[in-house]
């Protein structure tokens, strides 16, 4: 679970999901109100985790698996990624990729 870089308190799973499911990179700590951002390492892990959803396409290249099984794997993997995302999140007090 992520830890605030300002107050050093650990966020809960629910708080993390609420704060990270946004289009804006800036998150406020629910405990102290400080501005928090994803770290570069956290963004890389998140991108890798999201690519895991496409794993059934790679399986289809090497094995002859029925389409219904492959289609059922997509929502299962998406749910697993959604559940694991807060555990891979790290916070930083500075934006990883500033737009300025």
Q: Is residue 7 part of a domain?
A: no
**pLDDT digits over 26-63, tens only?**
888 888 888 888 888 888 888 898 888 888 888 888 88
CB atoms within 10 A of CB 15: 17
- The pTM of the full predicted model, rounded to 2 decimals, is 0.72
Q: Is residue 8 part of a domain?
A: no
Domain carrying residue 83: 13-92
Q: Is residue 35 part of a domain?
A: yes
> Quick one: what percent of the chain has pLDDT higher than 90?
3
Instruction: Examine the pLDDT at 69 and tell me if it is beyond 70.
Output: yes
Q: Report the C-alpha gap between 41 and 63 in whole angstroms.
A: 33
Instruction: Examine the pLDDT at 98 and tell me if it is beyond 70.
Output: no
pLDDT for the residue numbered 99: 59
Structural domains in the chain (count): 1
């Amino acid at each position: 679970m992520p830890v605030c870089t300002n107050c050093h308190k650990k966020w809960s799973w629910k708080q993390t999901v609420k704060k990270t499911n946004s289009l804006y990179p800036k998150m406020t700590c629910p405990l102290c109100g400080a501005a928090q951002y994803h770290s570069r390492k956290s963004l890389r892990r998140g991108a890798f985790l999201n690519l895991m959803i496409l794993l059934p396409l790679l399986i289809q290249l090497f094995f002859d698996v029925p389409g219904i099984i492959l289609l059922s794997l997509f929502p299962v993997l998406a749910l697993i990624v959604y559940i694991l995302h807060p555990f891979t999140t790290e916070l930083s007090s500075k934006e990883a990729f500033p737009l300025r």
